[in-house]
């Protein structure tokens, strides 16, 4: 088996441009790796080898004619199973959508097609993006390629596993409370949750519409910037997209003049010692690169998870109401309408989505709306103000991405509260709509597993997140 699939986008791009490899060879190498290893990892739910090789050949023909479409032309990518590709099945990891075939492309897919990207297949995920371990998929568990006894994170665990196993050069995920950044941390990757409204959600199966964002999982920081640049932008099909300036990376080796804030509330109990030590080593490296490190106060940090797990289930309850066997998806016929509903949703929607739908319906119900949903929305405003205030004095906020390294399969799947607490450092960016990036520390945690470092930035300032992470990455690799 060739080693071409182990390239980053940056490496492959240089080889493609100088003619030393072809996109077909690169794509074939990815499929060889999938054939040899994915039976044990289970990163993909479906692959499209014949079609991908044709796309690669078309990219090669363009290149031969001097007509490259973009940086991603001929690059093999994985796509999370909740992002529509016309003519392809898209199940969101649920049995109720087992036979659903997309009738249109998501906007991000249109943009990637315009770049000439090659689509390898659809990746496994927690059902309807609800979960932090990819153990909640209706189609089986995904394993962490770095340690088969551990989870890859979730809900974009299939995308993270596919990139970490070198089955594709990068992948798209979606992030509602950390679903890109947490698996990036567990699998030693770079993962970006863009500013809310920076990337179109059109064609993304909604979990919580005011929180969801699509973003990249990649092998290095520069690759993440390439993919983000390709998919960002205002879209008439998504009225929540913002008319922000086009993203341009602003790389820097010297961080002099840049202020990095360490939220006091984030460094208390609950972080494993190895994670704390690893992240603090990154802080010291950033200090040596010229950054000023300051402690900052971030009020309402203890309320962020509570707000998230009130507001998100309310939106889940509304969004998933369409999946009832009448309008979308598989129907299990009962003796009457009620029995049909009960059979269809009871047998074809998993435990975690049902749990969140029930929580949301309860919080929105008469007599409880004011006590739960309305109050949570008020506290959400306070949290947004607290982050905005903190980011007036510093350029980025830095914490661990997760309190621990990747944990064992089955360790938390029956303890929802323990699973939810794993989102402690990531949900703030979704509650506030701010951009956030996870990148790996050069220092490993327990069992030699990756540790993620989490940066949160100002609205539409992804460039600073990328600059800080790449400065660290470059200094560590050097």
Catalytic positions are: 80, 155, 179
| 370 DSSP assignment | I
Contact 1, 33 (CB under 8 A): yes
Contact 115, 69 (CB under 8 A): yes
Strand, coil or helix: 101: strand
CB neighbour list of residue 201: distance below 8 Å, 6 or more residues apart: 209, 212, 213, 214, 238, 240, 241
The residue among 422, 327, 310, 297 whose CA lies nearest residue 361 is 310
Which tokens sit at 163? 């990139």
Residue 358 burial (CB count, 10 A): 13
Which tokens sit at 6? 């182990």
| 270 DSSP assignment | T
Residue 396 burial (CB count, 10 A): 25
Residue 276 burial (CB count, 10 A): 16
Q: Are strands 259-263 and 190-193 parallel, antiparallel or unpaired?
A: unpaired
């Amino acid at each position: 088996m060739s080693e071409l699939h182990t390239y980053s986008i940056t490496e492959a791009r240089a080889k493609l441009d100088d003619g030393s490899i072809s996109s077909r060879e690169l794509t074939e190498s990815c499929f060889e790796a999938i054939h040899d290893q994915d039976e044990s990892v289970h990163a993909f739910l479906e692959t499209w080898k014949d079609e991908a090789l044709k796309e690669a050949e078309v990219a090669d023909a363009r290149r031969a004619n001097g007509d490259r479409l973009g940086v991603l032309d001929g690059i093999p990518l994985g796509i999370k199973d909740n992002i529509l590709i016309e003519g392809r099945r898209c199940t969101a990891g649920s049995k109720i959508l087992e036979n659903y075939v997309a009738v249109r492309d998501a906007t991000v897919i249109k943009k990637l097609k315009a770049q000439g990207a090659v689509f390898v297949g659809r990746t496994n995920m927690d059902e309807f993006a609800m979960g932090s371990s990819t153990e909640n998929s209706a189609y089986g568990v995904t394993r962490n390629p770095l340690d088969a006894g551990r989870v890859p994170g979730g809900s974009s665990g299939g995308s993270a596993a596919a990139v970490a196993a070198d089955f594709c050069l990068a992948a798209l995920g979606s992030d509602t409370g950390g679903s890109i950044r947490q698996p990036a941390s567990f699998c030693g990757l770079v993962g970006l949750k863009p500013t809310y409204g920076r990337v179109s959600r059109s064609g993304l199966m909604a979990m919580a519409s005011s929180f969801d964002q699509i973003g990249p999982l990649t092998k290095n920081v520069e690759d993440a910037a390439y993919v983000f640049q390709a998919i960002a932008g205002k879209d008439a099909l998504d009225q929540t997209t913002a008319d922000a300036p086009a993203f341009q990376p602003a790389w820097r080796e010297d961080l002099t003049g840049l202020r990095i804030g360490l939220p006091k509330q984030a460094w208390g109990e609950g972080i494993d010692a190895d994670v704390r030590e690893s992240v603090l080593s990154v802080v010291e490296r950033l200090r040596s690169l010229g950054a000023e490190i300051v402690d900052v106060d971030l009020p309402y940090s203890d309320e962020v998870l509570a707000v998230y797990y009130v507001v998100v289930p309310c939106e889940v309850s509304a969004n998933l109401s369409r999946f009832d066997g009448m309008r979308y998806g598989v129907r299990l016929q009962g003796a009457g309408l009620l029995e049909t509903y009960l059979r269809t949703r009871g047998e074809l929607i998993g435990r975690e989505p049902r749990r969140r739908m029930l929580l949301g319906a309860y919080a929105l119900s008469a007599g409880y709306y004011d006590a739960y949903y309305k109050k949570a929305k008020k506290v959400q405003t306070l949290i947004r103000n607290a982050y905005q205030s903190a980011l007036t004095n510093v350029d980025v906020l830095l914490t661990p991405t997760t309190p621990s390294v990747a944990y064992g399969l089955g360790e938390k799947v029956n303890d929802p509260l323990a699973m939810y607490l794993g989102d402690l450092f990531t949900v703030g960016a979704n509650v506030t709509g701010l951009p956030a990036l996870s990148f790996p520390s050069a220092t490993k945690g327990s069992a030699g597993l990756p540790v993620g470092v989490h940066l949160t930035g100002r609205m539409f300032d992804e460039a600073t997140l990328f600059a800080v992470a790449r400065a660290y990455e470059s200094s560590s690799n050097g």
